[in-house]
Amino acid sequence: MKSAIYYGKENVKVCDIPTPSVGENDILIKNIYSSICGTDVAVFTQGENTGHKIKVGDEFGH
């Protein structure tokens, strides 16, 4: 599956990551569309600790 990975200020790349596995009491939902919000923009332009608690190497967005 595709995911935006945060690599630091103004550095986000869309990468292929493994599809999560599901447990006996879980479901897997296919996301068809996604977007960004103002907090995502702040983290992208200003760096870590400016909105979401995101670190380099984490999946970006929500």
Q: What is the pLDDT of residues 18-60, one digit of tens each?
A: 998 999 999 999 888 888 888 888 888 988 877 678 889 998 7
61 pLDDT higher than 80: no
Beta bridge partners of 55: none
Report the predicted TM-score, pTM, of the whole model to 2 decimal places.
0.76
Distance CA 43, CA 54 (A): 8
Structure tokens of 36? 């960004």
What lies within 8 Å, CB to CB, of 33 at 6+ separation is none
pLDDT of residue 62: 67
